[in-house]
Amino acid sequence: MSRDDAEGGTPTRRDYLTYGGAVVGGGLLAGCTGGSDAESAPTTDRTANESGSDSASSTPSSGSESAEESSSTDGAYSVTMEPVGTVEFDRVPATIAPFTADYIDMLVALGHADAVQSIWYRGRYKTIHYEELDGVSIDLDGLTQLWNDGVSKELFYEMNADLHLIDPHELTDWLGAWDRDDLEEVRTNVAPFLGNLIFRRTDDWHDYRYYSLYEAFEKVAEIVRERERFEAIRSIHDELVTDVQSRLPAPEDRPDAALVFAGTEPEEFTPYRIDGQGANKEHFHALGISDAFAGTDVEGYSGSQSLDYEALLEVDPDSLLLRYHREGMTRAEFEDTVLAYLKEHELGSQLTAVEEDRVFRGGPIYAGPLHNLFMIERYAKGYYPGEFTEDELIDRDRLSRIITEGA
C-alpha cells in the first residue's frame, strides 16, 4: 500500500510510527555545535581513536521518567533520549535500523534480533560471544551495511524501518555524511531517529547528555517494551561486578594497561585511552584497570598520535591491550601470532607486559551489554588467573533463557 493510499484509508503500522512518532522535545539536532572527527570512513578495519580525559559526568536516569515510559505494554507511549528528545509510539517498532553494534547487541539481548535491519560497518560488529549462548544469534549477512564510501539516503528508503536507532550527530558530525536537510527528509519520509553516541565521549560536538551503557540499554528496553528482560540482565551484570570487585587485589597491586591499535606484526601503536567515559571502556573500569597513559602527553584521539617501541618502552605499561582484527581470534591463536612476534622482537620483548605475559586482545570498539559481560569475565580471568579459576563467571544458561524466553 502506498503512503497516498494509507492517508486515504486505515492507518498502517508505518503511519503509527512516522506520523505518530513525531519528535516533540529537544529538537532534531539539539546541542549541535558542529566540528569534525578524524574517525571517518572505515577504509580499513582500524578504527580511529579517542582521548582519555573527559571531565563531563553522565546524568543518572530519572526513575520517574522510566516508570512513566514503561508503565504499560499496550497503547501509546513515548521515549525521551538526548539529543533528539521525545519520540511517541503507538506500538513497538517491528523493524529497527541501528548504526553502531553496541545498540544491536542491546536489541539481541532484549530478544529483538529479528527487528535489526542495519549496521554502519559490518566488520565492526563482533558476535563470537553469541556462540556461547544457546539459541542466541543474528543474521549478520542479512544486515544492510550503511557505510559505502559515504551513507546513502536511498538505503534508508529501501529498508523502510520503523525507527532509526541512531544519534543524528553520527551522520552529521562524526562521519560528516549528511546535513540537517538530509536528516529531516529521512525523518519525515521514513521514520524518526532516536539514539545517543555512547562508545566514546571525546568529541567537542557531543555537548549534550552522555548515557552510560546501561542508561542507553534502559532506553532501548523502553523502546521495545522489555523492562523485565532489561532488569534481569542488569541483575546478572550487577552480580558479576559485585563478585569480581570483591575478589580484586588492592588498587596498588593491580596492573595498569595501555590500550592500543596495532597490526599482527606491529612496529607502531596507536593509543586509545582507557580513562574517561565510553561504553567500550566500562568493563576495564569495572575491574579497576588504570590507564598506563595517565599523566603523560599521550592523547590517543582520532588517530592523531602513534607510538614506536621506544616511546612505548618509556611508558612501559604493566599490561598491553591490542585492538585490530583481534576479536575473531582465540586466546591460543593470539598467543601463537601476535604475542609470539612481540616476544621475538628486539624491543618488544623488553616490555614488562610482554615479559610477564600480560598482553591481551583489546575487546570490541562498540560494546553492548552482552559484550560487556563477556569482557568482564575475560579480563578478570586474564589479569588475575590465580583468583578467578572458574571456567565461567557468567551463567550462560540463565542468560540464554532471559534472552530467548524472557525474564
Give residue 355's pLDDT band: very low, low, confident or very high (50, 70, 90).
Answer: very high
**Bond from prior residue into 83 cis (ω within 30 degrees of 0):** yes
Find the helix or strand (DSSP H, E) in which 401 lies.
helix 396-405
d(CA 308, CA 345): 13
Per-residue model confidence (pLDDT) at position 44: 35
d(CA 376, CA 359): 16
The more confidently predicted of residues 192 and 324 is: 192
Find the helix or strand (DSSP H, E) in which 309 lies.
helix 309-315
Calculate what percentage of the chain has a pLDDT beyond 90. 68
Burial track 102-134 (b if 16+ CB lie within 10 A, e otherwise): bbbbbbbbbbbbebbbbbbbbebbbbebbeebe
Per-residue model confidence (pLDDT) at position 291: 96
Arithmetic mean of pLDDT, 335-347? 94
Mean pLDDT of the chain: 83
Per-residue model confidence (pLDDT) at position 51: 34
Check pLDDT > 50 for residue 45: no
Per-residue model confidence (pLDDT) at position 202: 84
- Write out pLDDT tens, residues 127-162: 999 999 999 999 999 999 999 989 999 999 999 999
Per-domain boundaries in the chain: 3-226, 236-405
Residue 219 CB: number of other CB atoms within 10 A?
Answer: 25
Topology classification of domain 3-226: Rossmann fold (3.40.50)
Amino acid in the structure at residue 339: L
- Write out pLDDT tens, residues 295-338: 898 876 555 688 999 999 999 999 999 987 667 778 888 889 99
Going by CATH, does the domain composed of 236-405 fall within 3.40.630.10?
A: no
Arithmetic mean of pLDDT, 20-45? 34
Q: Between the CA of residue 19 and those of 24, 161, 189, what are the distances in Å?
A: 12, 14, 9
Residue 364 CB: number of other CB atoms within 10 A?
Answer: 27
Residue 209 CB: number of other CB atoms within 10 A?
Answer: 16
d(CA 178, CA 381): 43
Question: What φ, ψ does residue 283 adopt, rounded to 5°?
Answer: -70, -35
Calculate what percentage of the chain has a pLDDT beyond 70. 80
Arithmetic mean of pLDDT, 265-284? 92
Per-residue model confidence (pLDDT) at position 74: 59
Give residue 400's pLDDT band: very low, low, confident or very high (50, 70, 90).
Answer: very high
Q: Which residues contact 258 (CB under 8 A, 6 or more apart)?
A: 269, 271, 291, 292, 293, 312, 315, 317, 319, 320, 321, 353
Give residue 48's pLDDT band: very low, low, confident or very high (50, 70, 90).
Answer: very low
Q: How many residues does the chain have?
A: 407
* Residue 45 CA from chain centroid, whole number: 16
d(CA 17, CA 393): 41
Check pLDDT > 70 for residue 245: yes
Q: Between the CA of residue 360 and those of 236, 268, 321, 326, 383, what are the distances in Å?
A: 25, 17, 5, 9, 9
d(CA 298, CA 288): 20
The more confidently predicted of residues 57 and 177 is: 177
Quick one: CA dihedral 196, 275, 366, 152, positive or negative? positive
* Residue 319 CA from chain centroid, whole number: 23
Give residue 57's pLDDT band: very low, low, confident or very high (50, 70, 90).
Answer: very low
Same fold yes or no, 3-226 and 236-405: yes
Closest CA to 87 of 31, 164, 13: 164
Give residue 75's pLDDT band: very low, low, confident or very high (50, 70, 90).
Answer: confident
Arithmetic mean of pLDDT, 8-29? 35
Check pLDDT > 70 for residue 61: no
